[in-house]
């Protein structure tokens, strides 16, 4: 349970880098060792919040899309997501790089200078015609080289073990990912993994005005979807009864 609590926080704070720093972490336990995590991060640049939901039954791996939902008000154009399935090759290469002697890693990371990154990015854009990601391709200014020595001594067997090592933070993960992409060609996912957004407001300290018209339209849309669903009448009635529990009678009909 303690490991699950620590790893869920480590993943959302380090393996996913969208500009949100965790400030709240809640861990829930029920019978039969089942657990859930709800934690929230804040982006200081635009004062928006993002919430991460974990349910133990849905976690097949701590480092491969483990969240049940990621709720946010905005979607970032670029966000490093080392938990995405598309990042599998980059995860493996990151582990291989981290297991190399520290002097070699220092050489690899320091060779990826900002000017070289722009040149490589221009080349990638010209050849593959993909959208440039100049912000994404920036090596962290500070990397804890002592942590890289600890990783080398530990020799992690996989990405989860690498991430779980004490002291491995966003800079280390980002640096390894960039070397894996720019030198070895194993590209991580730069797509923001947020899955849902607030439909009628958010958590910003001041409640948003109630948008009754939009809420009514959503209710009618749900009702129509149930009525036209290709399910039995009993199932339709059950769904409509559930809908009535949450909305006024004059709206749900």
Confidence check: pLDDT of 30 > 80: yes
What is the reported pLDDT for 203? 52
Where are the domains positioned within the chain?
2-76, 85-182, 212-252
What is the reported pLDDT for 200? 62
- Summarize pLDDT for 120-155 with one digit per residue, the tens: 444 344 444 444 444 455 778 778 889 999 999 999
- Comparison of pLDDT for 117 and 171, the residue scoring more: 171
In the block, tokens 């009702």 appear at 223
Q: Indicate the average pLDDT of the chain.
A: 83
Structure tokens at 76: 């970032």
CA distances from 115 to 104, 107, 120 (A): 21, 16, 9
Rounded-to-integer distance, Cα 92 and Cα 174, Å:
14
pTM: 0.72
- Summarize pLDDT for 98-117 with one digit per residue, the tens: 999 999 988 888 776 554 44
Of 242, 108, 250, 99, nearest to 165 by C-alpha is: 99
What HEC string does 11-71 produce? HHHHHEECCCEEEEEEEEECHHHCEEEEEEEEECCCCEEEEEEEEHHHCCCCCCCCCCEEE
Helix (H) or strand (E) holding 180: helix 170-182
């Amino acid at each position: 349970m303690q490991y699950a609590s620590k790893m869920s926080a480590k993943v959302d704070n380090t393996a996913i880098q969208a500009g949100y720093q965790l400030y709240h972490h809640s861990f829930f336990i029920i019978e039969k060792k089942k657990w859930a995590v709800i934690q929230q991060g804040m982006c200081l640049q635009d004062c928006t919040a993002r919430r991460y939901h974990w349910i133990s039954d849905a976690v097949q791996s701590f480092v491969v899309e483990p969240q049940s939902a990621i709720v946010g008000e905005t979607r970032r154009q670029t966000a490093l997501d080392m938990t995405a399935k598309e990042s599998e090759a980059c995860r493996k290469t990151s582990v291989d790089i981290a297991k190399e002697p520290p002097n070699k890693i220092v050489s690899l990371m320091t060779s990826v200078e900002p000017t070289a990154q722009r040149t490589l990015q221009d080349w990638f854009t010209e050849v593959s015609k993909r959208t440039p990601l100049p912000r994404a391709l920036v090596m962290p200014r500070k990397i804890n080289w002592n942590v890289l020595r600890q990783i080398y001594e530990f020799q992690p067997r996989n990405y989860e073990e690498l991430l779980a090592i004490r002291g491995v933070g966003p800079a280390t993960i980002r640096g390894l990912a960039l070397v894996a992409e720019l030198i070895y060609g194993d590209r991580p996912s730069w797509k923001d993994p947020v899955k849902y957004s607030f439909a009628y407001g958010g958590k910003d300290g001041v409640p948003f005005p109630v948008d009754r018209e939009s809420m009514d339209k959503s209710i009618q849309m749900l009702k129509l979807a149930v009525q036209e669903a290709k399910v039995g009448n009993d199932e339709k009635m059950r769904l409509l009864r559930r809908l009535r529990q949450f909305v006024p009678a004059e709206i749900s009909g």
